[in-house]
Amino acid sequence: MADEKRKIPFYEGMWTTTSDGEARLLGSKCPSCGELFFPRRDDGICVRCQHEELENIEFGTQGRIMTFTSVMLPPAGGYYHGPVPFNFGLIDLDDGVRVESQIGGAFEKLKVGMKVKLFIETLYVDEEGNEVQAYLFQPIKE
Amino acid sequence: MKTTWQRRPVFVAGLGLSHFDYLPDVPPTQYASKAILHALKDAEMEWQDIQAVFCGACYLGVAIGHKIIKEIGLTGIPIVNIENACSTGASALRLAFQEVAAEIYDVVLVVGVEKNPKGAIPSKAFLDWESQLGFNFQPGNYALETVKYMNRTGATEEDISLVTVKNRKNASLNPNARFQTPVTLEEVMRSRMVAPPLRLLHCCPLADGAAVTIICSQNKVKSLSRAVKVAAAVLRTATYKEEYVPGGIIGSSKFPATVNSAKASAREAYEMSGYGPEDIDVLQAYDTVSSSELWDIEELGFCREGEAFRLLREGAFDIDGKLPVNTDGGLMGRGHPMGATGLGQIIEVVTQLRGEAGPRQVKRARIGLAHAMGSGPNSTVTILSKE
């Protein structure tokens, strides 16, 4: 459809969408020491044990908030085009990897330890009318 | 590594400091060269006495040290430019210390200088995708660390606000500080929320400025009564996945780091100097945000985790307290010209040990420590003594 806005990722190679429509973050796993990495390490180097052939993996979608805040002033430098204020923090995925992410929902309702799930949302609409999408975690029920 | 008795003693003989403030109409070469000439007079030395230069800056581009020296007079000596984030100035001093200790040079000039871009600075420690998601916002990153610290220790927003109150009071006694007026607890806690729990007055103000020291061997010291010995100058960086969000490092939940670079650098400095935390009379801790001063005091070994905010409330860190901390106002009150900050801290310790700190003078200060911590992460610890 010609009038439908195009959806494009803010950055290539960070997530994939499965056939049932669920998003999964893409990462790397070290076959030697077992360490996990997000985002995927294209150079294939394990920065924990220096093994050189990391495996590609997809992570599960759920985790818990480890720490969080809300940014109330626009970040400097002109890199960020999303809404302000926005919540962000560190998420410990159930798979055993820590991910930095924006966090959806009202800031006042967020808590350390809260269960969250991965979603793909529009971060902003660019000059050509494309919906620029990013991964984000939203609180879900226990 | 040589121990203290194996290398020759190294001294800080001269100090030069510009006012720390926004100086939009003054080129950095100007306030830096003036600070250098001040340090020369302070050391009672001539320009021709300087045998090498280390110049630290973060945002001043290629060969800033050469541009500054050109404004005083080129003499053909080696000039090396250094960028090491918030530890830049102290990293430059460490190299000068090593070259004098190793008897390569007798007199080395160390310059820390900065002219900051306006507004919150986008850190260079972050990747493009991180910046696109808004993660490159240092008050936010320090907020993430502060939430973790508050959860671990039970420190409250009032506790971290009291750090600002103390440091702004100290800054009001320091004519070189960016902020010349104290603030009340209420003013801090009502200031604009930037990234909860951090408010505007919990975040250090940026500034332009220059800090200069002249480092030399004992035979070059003109006034031994004013010279201060460099007892240790240490630089450490992080080990694998030491979580430090403002430095662009997210930890590993599977393999958490067992070493902390601040603790490791302090331990090495205590070993090198032969002093321990109990010997330190004056401390310059790293208050990029108010809460970081509290965890810094703990990580440097001055008290156990979770004790610093109670000691703060008891007045232990006041100028007349048991361990005066950030007597010149710290980053919070003095301002943070990134390349100059580490040297600014060292200059305050030397000024205190000389007994020349005027209304903010600490009584009977003989040994002092300065800690700078920044992106990398880098952690520099410098111990100075007047014994």
Q: Six-digit token pair at B57?
A: 């800056």
Q: What is the CATH number of the domain that holds A12?
A: 2.40.50
Closest-CA residue of B relative to A49 is B240
Residues from chain B contacting residue A112 (CB–CB below 8 Å)? 147, 151
Residues from chain A contacting residue B134 (CB–CB below 8 Å)? 71, 75, 80, 82, 86, 88, 102
Active site residue B38: no
Inside any domain, residue A22: no
Name, in order, each residue with C-beta under 8 angstroms of B240's C-beta and a sequence gap of 6 or more. A47, A48, B252, B255, B257
Q: What CATH number is given for B4-114 in this structure?
A: 3.40.47.10
B196 and A69 within 8 Å at the Cβ level: the answer is: yes
Inside any domain, residue A96: yes
Q: How confident is the model at residue A1 (pLDDT cuts 50, 70, 90)?
A: very low
Q: Which residues of chain A are at the B interface, by a Cβ-Cβ cutoff of 8 Å?
A: 10-11, 14, 33-36, 39, 47-48, 66-73, 75-77, 79-82, 86, 88-90, 92-93, 96-102, 107, 112, 123, 134
Q: How confident is the model at residue B368 (pLDDT cuts 50, 70, 90)?
A: very high
Residue A60 has pLDDT above 80, yes or no: yes
How far apart CA B138 and CA A17 sit, in angstroms, is: 32
Inside any domain, residue A102: yes
Inside any domain, residue A45: no
pLDDT at B5: 53
ipTM of this predicted structure: 0.95
Q: What SS3 state is found at B247?
A: helix
The boundaries of the domain holding residue A65 are 7-17+60-139
Residue B1 has pLDDT above 60, yes or no: no
Name, in order, each residue with C-beta under 8 angstroms of B225's C-beta and a sequence gap of 6 or more. none
Alpha helices in chain B (DSSP H): 28-43, 64-70, 88-101, 128-132, 138-153, 157-171, 185-190, 261-273, 290-299, 308-313, 330-334, 338-354
pLDDT at A21: 84
Inside any domain, residue A32: no
Active site residue B371: no
B255-268 confidence digits (pLDDT tens): 999 989 999 999 99
The DSSP secondary-structure symbol of A108 reads G
Residues from chain A contacting residue B147 (CB–CB below 8 Å)? 67-69, 112
B122 and A34 within 8 Å at the Cβ level: the answer is: no
Q: What is the DSSP string of B217-236?
A: EGGG-S-TTT-EEEEEEEEE
Closest-CA residue of B relative to A88 is B135
Min distance B276 CA to chain A CA atoms (Å): 33
Inside any domain, residue A40: no
A76 and B250 within 8 Å at the Cβ level: the answer is: no
B80-120 confidence digits (pLDDT tens): 999 999 999 999 999 999 999 999 999 999 999 999 876 66
pLDDT at B376: 83
B283-307 confidence digits (pLDDT tens): 999 999 999 999 999 999 999 999 9
Residue B122 has pLDDT above 80, yes or no: no
Number of H helices, E strands in chain A: 0, 10
Q: Which region among B69-73, B186-190, B374-378 has the lowest average model confidence (pLDDT)?
A: B374-378
Specify burial of residue A52 (Cβ count, 10 A radius: 0-12, 13-18, 19+). Answer: exposed
Work out how many domains chain A is built from and give that number.
1
Q: How confident is the model at residue B2 (pLDDT cuts 50, 70, 90)?
A: low
Min distance A39 CA to chain B CA atoms (Å): 10
How far apart CA B136 and CA A80 sit, in angstroms, is: 9
B234-261 confidence digits (pLDDT tens): 999 999 999 999 988 999 999 999 989 9
B145 and A97 within 8 Å at the Cβ level: the answer is: no
A13-47 confidence digits (pLDDT tens): 999 998 888 999 999 999 999 999 999 999 999 99
pLDDT at A76: 85
Residues from chain B contacting residue A98 (CB–CB below 8 Å)? 250-253
Map out the domains of chain B as residue ranges.
4-114
pLDDT at B7: 83
C-alpha A27, offset from chain centre: 11
Q: Which of B58, B203, B204, B336 is labelled catalytic? A: B336
Instruction: Please indicate if any CB of chain A lies within 8 Å of the CB of B143.
Output: yes
Residues from chain A contacting residue B253 (CB–CB below 8 Å)? 66, 92-93, 96-98
